[in-house]
A and B are shown apart, each in its own frame.
Chain A
């Protein structure tokens, strides 16, 4: 069947071509809907208020990042990846830099790797904080958003001090770091971590035991472990379904093998479990940061890379555990200064595919909750 929507069809039900039942209506949510987190458009087939089918229409934010890569040198392309998941730009940059390093067979020096780890974990906390605030706002709790942004602000300040940018940081360079860590970095990170545990407790006090919150999230949007694996869902969404899969442990990169942390998992795979998993992940990230600032090795920050990068012909796939899930870069080099092809595996897009299955049989109000719990960023979905 002809699909006008760029061949993307989540869950297999094409709303336009199905015959509607007598009581069914189609509701278009988005792309200008306040709680579709940007420009996601979801076509819902409703029986009363119950969702019987859905289809995501994406691409409103498509910028052709992968195509741009073919016309930029390796270094020039690095800032572009920041614009994909703009809530977690540091993680995007880390994945890209490490992929190119792997392609060129160089390694970042230990000092660079530890600083990378610190910044990436801070970014994970910032991303989760932003998720928590907006998710709670979708479900109607106004206040957590401001608390979360207050803490996120501290992290952004650290980024700003480190590299001058707050959102699209472009913090790393291929082969290591461009900037030396500023003098107070350890102190700033430590100050942030010292208070942060109490702050998470504060969010928990507002939400975790709250009857309304539990009622709105428990049993909503259940994703079973086998379904999650079959659909390639990764990140906190997968872990909340009970699968203990985290690339930081499974295939350690940066300096993660040096630190102790646990991978929180959920049991039921519902919205409430995903909430708990992300909260615990924030705590674990804090733990990693604290361990990392204890001992930042001295030494150079940039490995042996030339001014002009010419990786040998070949291909590489490298993935990291971004805040939203597995962020993978597949790069093909033809031996010139520009990549022949870059393919990005964005966790948001793959996780979004589970949406249809998760919202079937729920009410419209739950769709908002489930979109929130998937923690998608449309910049990354559409690239």
Chain B
């Protein structure tokens, strides 16, 4: 019996996450559509439920009921299994994420490496799915996707190494602890590392402006072209889970994990009421919109959402105002930690969406050039300059405020140099291309004559 007890809580957490995640992914899609609509002067989904709140459920039902089509010349077994690989890999990665000091499936001593390793297995789902479909568009999309993932994993990994140098541990919990100990989030100690990770993580999740594999104006839907119904939904789930994973890594590594902003400063204790205000604001919006809903059921639904927000507001506030030492006050780090962690993850995902709706798409060669000729060298310089900063700080006892700017300045200089040479290189490349064009045209002429 004793052998089982340590497994109970992790299993419960795991079940909760696996059960809730599809719902969360569905609602991220809804939020994305709403954000997109907001940026594009539209309303977005408004029909299913008040303000489209039930849209994800309707979509899920539709996808589940759709006919499951497997192309005749596809490799059935692989076609069937590939989406499962993607989803499994993405979900496994969630195991090591610390959603607040109490909510974590497993605090591994190799936490971050585990997340990286497991999520890199997701490539198989993409590559095999594209191959098994037996279609040109799928295969091309899959190859592009895999090439992109592999290339950007390099710079993402190097950016993470930079932050790990600062933390001195691979354990996700230890990383947050380290940020608490030195008193600043690592985004301020290694801002360029964060920038590199941001770009690389967008590319890794195959999102615009790096959404090559599914550049619908070129490759239809990339590796997902032949998929439909539930299997397609699984790919989608994997994609959005991956977004949550990379956002969680960023939140843990650079944004202080579950810590409140200025967690160590008493002066900013009023920030403990931020969750309350946020919830009250949402509740107020819901109640204001309630009378405007067309159908009584929708009115009730809207009011219920408002009430739920009020309940959450109470949940967030009671631990703060409860007398110190009581059981309720002891729950505060867990509840508020979860709130801040999810808030940071949400903010990070919002940046993803914002970029997606603002930028045009890179061309594949441009994307590869950006990855290998700019981000990878920059991330290597970043690791070295963080090393320099740490040496200055720890061995020579320079103060933090001097040592880290030195490292940042070194990285910035390297970045500027890379940008300048990159542009020069690009210009010469264009020249080469023109020559090549002339060559090919000369080759064409005899064909015409025939």
Contact = CB atoms under 8 A, between A and B. Distances in A.
A138 B362 CA distance: 12
A14 to B, nearest CB: 9
Given A35-B217, A212-B359, A140 B211 contact: yes
Interface residues of B, number: 35
A146 B39 CA distance: 9
Interface string B355-374: 01111111111100000000
Contacts of A143: 39-40, 357-358
B446 to A, nearest CB: 10
Nearest to B429: A219
Contacts of A136: 360
Contacts of B217: 34-35, 137-140, 368
A119 B137 CA distance: 44
Nearest to B438: A361
B295 interface: no
A207 B360 CA distance: 8
B436 A361 contact: yes
Given A210-B359, A212-B359, A146 B42 contact: yes
A365 B209 CA distance: 14
Contacts of B136: 27
Interface in B399-450: 430, 433-434, 436-437, 440-441, 444, 447-448
Contacts of A142: 36, 40, 208, 356-357
Interface-central residue, B36, B216, B360, B437, by most chain A CB under 10 Å: B360
Interface in B181-234: 208-209, 211, 215-218, 220
Interface in A11-69: 12-13, 18-19, 27, 34-35, 49, 52-53
Interface in A131-147: 136-143, 145-147
A366 B362 CA distance: 11
A372 to B, nearest CB: 9
Contacts of B365: 363
Contacts of A206: 358
Interface in A205-224: 206-207, 210, 212-213, 215-216, 219
Contacts of A52: 440, 444
Contact of B363 (A12, A34, A210, A365): A365
Interface residues of A, number: 37
Nearest to B430: A219
Contact of B441 (A27, A49, A212, A360): A360
Nearest to B439: A361
A181 interface: no
Nearest to B366: A215
B4 interface: no
Contact of A12 (B40, B42, B448): B448
A309 interface: no
B440 A360 contact: yes
A248 B42 CA distance: 37
Given A142-B356, A365-B218, A212 B430 contact: no
Contacts of B36: 142
Contact of B448 (A13, A363, A364): A13
Contact of B41 (A18, A34, A150): A150
Contact of B209 (A137, A212, A219, A366): A212
B447 A18 contact: yes
A360 B362 CA distance: 20
B360 A212 contact: yes
Contacts of A215: 362-363, 366
Given A18-B447, A52-B440, A361-B440, A139 B40 contact: no
Contacts of A53: 444
A150 B40 CA distance: 9
Given A146-B42, A368-B218, A140 B361 contact: yes
Contacts of B437: 360-361
B356 A49 contact: no
Contacts of B447: 13, 18-19
Interface string A321-353: 000000000000000000000000000000000
A216 B360 contact: yes
Contacts of B434: 361
Given A140-B217, A360-B437, A216 B40 contact: no
A147 to B, nearest CB: 7
Contacts of B436: 361
Interface in B344-362: 356-362
Nearest to B362: A212
B359 to A, nearest CB: 5
Contacts of A365: 215, 218, 363-364
Given A150-B41, A206-B358, A215-B362, A13 B215 contact: no
Interface in A112-161: 136-143, 145-147, 150
Interface in B24-41: 36, 39-41
Contacts of A35: 217-218
B361 A139 contact: yes
B15 to A, nearest CB: 37
A136 B362 CA distance: 12
Contacts of B215: 140, 365
A146 B440 CA distance: 40
B282 to A, nearest CB: 26
Given A49-B364, A215-B362, A146 B218 contact: no
Interface in B361-401: 361-366
B445 to A, nearest CB: 9
Given A143-B40, A146-B42, A364 B362 contact: no
Nearest to A206: B358
Nearest to A134: B217
B444 A13 contact: yes
A147 B360 contact: no
B218 A213 contact: no
A142 B448 CA distance: 40
Contacts of B440: 52, 360-361
B364 A141 contact: no
Interface string A362-374: 0111101000000
Contacts of A213: 360
A27 B139 CA distance: 14
10 contacts: A13-B447, A141-B359, A142-B36, A146-B42, A147-B41, A212-B359, A216-B362, A360-B437, A365-B215, A365-B218
Given A210-B359, A368-B217, 11 more contacts: A34-B216, A34-B220, A140-B208, A140-B211, A142-B36, A143-B357, A146-B41, A146-B42, A216-B366, A361-B436, A363-B365
What 8 A-B pairs have minimum CB-CB distances, sorted nearest first? A140-B361, A361-B437, A35-B217, A146-B40, A141-B360, A140-B360, A139-B360, A365-B363
